[in-house]
Amino acid sequence: MIVFVNSDNFEEEVIRSDELVLADFYSESCIPCKMLSPMLYELDAQYEGKIKIVKIKVDTEFELAQRFEISSTPTVLFFRNGRKLESLTGYKDKDTWEEIINSYI
């Protein structure tokens, strides 16, 4: 189940999570973000119990965007045990996301 994260629940949902976390920093006006979103729901179902997917709206979560130096959307960060593992910017096809996720699980 994809979780919408803000500054109030970021620590709990991302930093303190013991799962691999894919954090999608997105904007409502971003066309590639809108293209990525349905794919994230597919990946969420496909990797249920193996990965947590969260969405962070940069339009309202300025502090989190600044903290992680998000300068364009979509930007996806991978976290494990509170540590950022990787950062990817821009739309990627499903095969690319699967390859990256599989390398971490």
> What are the strands, taking DSSP E only, across 27-61?
51-57
Give the C-alpha separation, 105 to 10, whole Å. Answer: 22
3-state secondary structure of 100: helix
Nearest in space to 11 (alpha carbons), one of 26, 23, 28: 23
- Which residue numbers are catalytic? 30, 33
Nearest in space to 97 (alpha carbons), one of 79, 81, 76, 70: 76
